[in-house]
Amino acid sequence: MRTWERRVADAITGLLMREGPDPDPRELVRVVGETSGAAGCALVIGHRRFHWGEREGSWLEHEVSYDGEVRGLLSFTPDSAGPFPAVAAVLGPLVAAIELAEAADRLRRDGDASARELVDDRWRAAAEMEHQRRSLERDLHDGAQHHLVALRMSLAVAEHAIGAGGGHERVADLLAQLENAERVLVETAAGILPGALVAEGLVAALRAQLSRYDKVTLDVSGLARRYPAPVESAVYFVVLEAVNNARKHARGARVMVAVSDSYQGLEFTVADDGPGFDVTGGGLPGLTTRVASVGGSVQVRSALGAGTTVDGVVPV
């Protein structure tokens, strides 16, 4: 998503925060038009056309789709203002929600009992946009932050070595880590999973990420099959976050990662022999949310002086 398209998406999110999941289509097209910098903007939903700005000139059109169906048409003038494919994609759940809300209102007036189901669909469509935003936020936290924390720790080591009169040979390694972190950020913003995870699966992806750490060991001897992509993606990011937490809060500790098949499903463990912490106030909510999104569960066990162990399972 380009910078100005993200600016439009942020403006749409702001409108939702002010007006709720069913914004006025006229206000929606105004926000999109003004933020995009176009002279005119129009949004067709069903048989209704909502317009903002100029009406004359050449127009560039984008189909607005949701759940595999075309739900509306987004247009801009002049045509040089576009294209805006990412904006049309963001509008998909909203246009579907507006369309369903109008249908529900018509059915309610007619006394049709199926209106209740359409209302549920309306909220589901509006909620999906928020879910996608939170999913991107989690991916940035669990993936890109993992690389940035590693880079910060490497910088601290290099700074100490340079201060002692050496360490200049570490500069090339730091530049490589920085380039890798930048790549992960770009891929995550574009919604792209790590290439090894997509092409070769969970084992290859974890090996690629964890092999660079001297005190992190990976045991995948008990894993003999592939799992659905959403499951492998969730476990991949949860393991990275757990390893990242261990390296960040238990520096110098050994970290053991194990992933295996079981009668329950896909199991994973991340354990360290660091100082541990008191978990009576709660574990690590980010891990729980990620695993729960694919129907799994996670348990965090730790005590002062006894290290920390994160166990999880995703039934498949």
Q: Cα–Cα distance between 261 and 225 in angstroms, integer?
A: 8
pLDDT of residue 310: 95
Pick the more confident residue, 112 or 286: 286
For 195-316, CATH number out of 2.120.10.30, 2.40.160.20, 3.30.565.10, 3.40.50.410 equals 3.30.565.10
Dmax (CA) of the chain:
83
What is the arithmetic mean of pLDDT over 108-124? 56
The rounded radius of gyration (Å) of the Cα atoms in the chain is 24
* Correct CATH for 3-132 of 3.30.750, 3.90.550, 1.20.120, 3.30.450: 3.30.450
Taking the whole predicted model, whether its pTM rises above 0.75 is answered as no
Q: What are the boundaries of each domain within the chain?
A: 3-132, 195-316
What does the pLDDT read at residue 132?
Answer: 54
For residue range 57-90, list pLDDT tens digits in order: 888 898 988 888 888 999 999 877 767 788 888 8
Q: Which residue do the tokens 């238990």 mark? A: 250
Q: Which of 207, 190, 291, 203 is nearest to 241 (CA)?
A: 291
Contact call for residues 218 and 210 (beta carbons, < 8 A): yes
Least confident interval from 4-13, 14-23, 146-155, 173-182: 146-155
